[in-house]
Structure 1
């Protein structure tokens, strides 16, 4: 089962089951899991995942529970292409792992920054007005310039 335009999504499948239009389902085994072909009217469509690719169930029990949950209790199973050796024992999505790592780091930074801002707001020491700081800096700057001139002469 490759990616195909002839797919059906979960919401549409639920509506067809509610309307009694589904006349059958075929569970098709393949390397890596199980796919579902839904038959309604004179049409057959492959069940699609949220992002449009064909939905593959790694475990047969999960697929059975899914179908029963939406109201399909009878179906045919074709296990001729199912390969249990091809099941991935380890599923790593480095892109998803990196996204989650970045999200956790961003959340930690946001928490730290929020804490720092709150501590600054709650600081009991009196704040120094801008005009006072500007006057002090002007005095210090003038002294530094005078010192630099005396060293250069």
Structure 2
């Protein structure tokens, strides 16, 4: 028998049904790649949709789907249907995840290096081994450098 996808309901509508205490029951339904949650209200039974999608939301494991039903929907007793559950049916790859983690690690390493350098400089100032440049001296040095750069630019142009 071919698999017929369930009708869906969006999260905001489910929240309204929960607030109105209109949820009569729930089924955690095994799907290829995860678990969907069906809610029962009135004579209707619908799957909760993924955000901004017209397909059922899938939880990766049964525990998180069950916690959602129990804690978010307030349904302490519910059915579990494993008939169509196939954890290997959907390959979950997140190439962006590896790149994001690499950027996070690089940022953390740079932050540690930067804090170390600032700490060394502050220690050197406190010990008197690192000299300070007055604002006036800095302005004079920068003005001299700027004049040299503008002269070179004028010769090149």
- Per the normalisation by structure 1, the TM-score is 0.60
1:93 and 2:94 matched = yes
Aligned pairs, how many?
133
- Per the normalisation by structure 2, the TM-score is 0.59
Deviation of 1:103 (Å): 1.3
Q: Partners in 2 of 1:119 and 1:74 — Cα distance?
A: 61
In our comparison, the structure showing a higher alpha carbon Rg is 1
1:82 and 2:104 matched = no
Q: Deviations over 1:8-50 (max 9, x none)?
A: 32x7645533431112323322111210122334655432456
Q: Partners in 1 of 2:24 and 2:46 — Cα distance?
A: 12
Q: Is the 8 A contact 1:35 1:54 kept in 2?
A: yes
Unaligned segments of structure 2, at least 5 residues: 149-157
Q: Partners in 1 of 2:133 and 2:59 — Cα distance?
A: 64
Q: Is the 8 A contact 1:8 1:45 kept in 2?
A: no
Aligned residue for 2:36?
35
Unaligned segments of structure 1, at least 5 residues: 142-153
CA RMSD of aligned residues (A): 3.9
